[in-house]
C-alpha cells in the first residue's frame, strides 16, 4: 500500500491524534521526575565519555599535526639560513686563501726585486708559466721572450743561485734548460780551494761536478760557484754544495755529487741575465733569499 493512500485513509482526525501524541511525549520527558532525569544522566555519562575518547584523540592528532607543521616551517627556515651561512663561510675561506697567496707572492716579489736591485748585472724578471711536459728534457717556460730582450744562451738565475740557460725563444716566451738536465753544463769552481771543473746534470735529475784535479782536497759541504769563464754567468754565483766525493783508483780526475742551491720544485720566478760585463770580477753573496720568488708581470 502506498504512502499517499495510507495518509488518506488516516484522515485529518488521525493526523491530529498523532501530533498530539508526540507533543504529549515531549512534555512527559521535560516534566519527568528528578530521579528519572538522574537515571537518564547516569546512562548518558558513560556514553558521553566513550564518545569523548575519539574526540580527544582527533583533537590531539590535529594539535600534533599543526605543531609538527609549524616546526617543519621553522626548521625549513633554519636550514635555508644554515645553507646560506655555509656558502658564506666557503666564500670567505676562498678569499682568505687568495689573500694569503697574494701576501706570499708579495714577499717573494720583494725578495726578488731586492736581489735584482743589488746584483751588479742587468736582468729581466720572468714568471714561470709551464714546465716541459715530456720526459726528454728538464726545462721550464717563461712568460717573457724576444720582445723583452731574451735570447738563446742567456744565463738564468734566482736569488739562491744558478737555475739554467735559455735554449729557445719565441716573441713572448722562452724555454730554459735546468741545471739538472744532462744537456746542461756550467763552468764552476770550488770556492774554498779554487779548483775548477764542469757542473752537469745527470740522467736521474741530480747534479755532478766533473774533471776536478786528482790531488784537490775536496770536502763534503764545500760550496761550488760559477767560475765566470763563459759569457752566460758571472763569477761567484752559487751552484750547490758537495754531498759526496768520488775518486776511483787509476782515474785522472775526481768527481763530486752536489745538492743544488736552488729548489727547482718550488721555483716560481727567475731573473734572466741580459747584459754581463765579462771584465767585472764579481763576488756574489751566498746568503740569498729563497729561490722561489715570483716576479711581477712587468720588467723592473
SS (HEC) of 97-161: HHHHHHHHHHHHHHHHHHHHHHCCCEEEEEEEEEECCCCCCCEEEECCCHHHCCCCCCEEEECCE
pLDDT at position 207 is 95
With respect to residue 103, please indicate whether it lies within any of the assigned structural domains.
no
**Ordered DSSP codes for 255-274:** EEEEEESS-GGG--EEEEEE
With respect to residue 39, please indicate whether it lies within any of the assigned structural domains.
no
With respect to residue 281, please indicate whether it lies within any of the assigned structural domains.
no
With respect to residue 182, please indicate whether it lies within any of the assigned structural domains.
yes
pLDDT in tens, 153-185: 999 999 899 999 999 999 999 999 999 999 999
* 45 pLDDT above the threshold of 80: no
Question: Structural domain tally of the chain?
Answer: 1
With respect to residue 223, please indicate whether it lies within any of the assigned structural domains.
yes
* 278 pLDDT above the threshold of 60: no
With respect to residue 209, please indicate whether it lies within any of the assigned structural domains.
yes
With respect to residue 44, please indicate whether it lies within any of the assigned structural domains.
no
Neighbouring residues of 18: CB distance < 8 A, sequence distance ≥ 6: 10
| Confidence bin at 272 (pLDDT 50/70/90) | very high
Q: pTM score > 0.75 for this model?
A: no
Residue 266's CATH number? 2.40.10.340
The domain of 138 spans 119-275
* 279 pLDDT above the threshold of 60: no
Neighbouring residues of 110: CB distance < 8 A, sequence distance ≥ 6: none
Pick the more confident residue, 266 or 210: 210
pLDDT in tens, 226-256: 998 887 899 999 999 999 998 877 778 999 9
With respect to residue 8, please indicate whether it lies within any of the assigned structural domains.
no
pLDDT at position 268 is 85
For residues 83-101, average pLDDT = 86
CA distances from 26 to 7, 30, 59 (A): 23, 6, 34
Centre a 10 Å sphere on the Cβ of residue 187 and count the other Cβ atoms it contains: 16
pLDDT in tens, 182-215: 999 999 999 999 999 999 999 888 999 999 998 8
| Confidence bin at 285 (pLDDT 50/70/90) | very low
For 196, counting Cβ atoms within 10 Å of its Cβ (0-12 exposed, 13-18 middle, 19+ buried), the class is middle
Backbone CA torsion sign across 176, 229, 208, 121: negative
Amino acid at each position: 500500500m502506498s504512502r499517499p493512500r495510507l495518509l488518506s485513509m488516516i484522515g485529518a482526525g488521525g493526523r491530529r491524534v498523532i501530533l498530539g501524541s508526540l507533543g504529549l511525549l515531549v512534555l512527559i520527558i521535560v516534566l519527568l521526575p528528578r530521579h528519572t532525569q538522574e537515571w537518564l544522566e547516569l546512562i548518558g555519562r558513560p556514553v558521553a565519555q566513550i564518545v569523548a575518547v575519539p574526540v580527544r584523540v582527533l583533537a590531539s592528532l590535529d594539535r600534533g599535526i599543526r605543531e609538527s607543521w609549524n616546526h617543519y616551517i621553522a626548521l625549513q627556515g633554519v636550514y635555508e639560513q644554515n645553507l646560506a651561512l655555509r656558502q658564506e663561510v666557503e666564500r670567505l675561506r676562498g678569499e682568505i686563501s687568495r689573500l694569503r697567496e697574494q701576501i706570499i707572492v708579495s714577499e717573494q716579489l720583494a725578495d726578488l726585486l731586492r736581489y735584482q736591485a743589488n746584483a751588479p748585472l742587468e736582468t729581466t724578471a720572468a714568471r714561470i708559466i709551464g714546465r716541459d711536459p715530456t720526459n726528454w728534457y728538464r726545462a721550464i717556460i717563461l712568460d717573457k721572450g724576444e720582445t723583452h730582450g731574451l735570447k738563446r744562451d742567456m744565463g738564468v738565475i734566482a736569488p739562491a743561485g744558478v737555475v739554467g740557460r735559455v735554449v729557445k725563444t719565441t716573441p713572448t716566451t722562452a724555454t730554459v734548460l735546468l741545471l739538472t738536465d744532462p744537456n746542461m753544463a756550467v763552468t764552476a769552481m770550488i770556492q774554498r780551494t779554487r779548483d775548477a771543473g764542469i757542473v752537469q746534470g745527470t740522467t736521474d735529475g741530480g747534479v755532478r761536478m766533473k774533471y776536478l784535479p786528482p790531488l784537490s782536497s775536496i770536502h763534503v759541504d764545500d760550496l761550488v760557484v760559477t767560475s765566470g769563464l763563459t759569457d752566460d754567468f758571472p763569477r761567484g754565483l752559487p751552484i750547490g754544495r758537495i754531498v759526496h766525493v768520488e775518486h776511483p783508483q787509476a782515474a785522472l780526475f775526481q768527481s763530486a755529487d752536489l745538492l743544488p742551491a736552488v729548489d727547482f720544485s718550488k721555483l716560481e720566478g727567475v731573473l734572466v741575465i741580459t747584459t754581463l760585463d765579462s771584465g767585472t770580477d764579481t763576488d756574489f753573496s751566498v746568503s740569498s733569499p729563497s729561490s722561489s720568488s715570483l716576479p711581477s708581470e712587468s720588467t723592473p
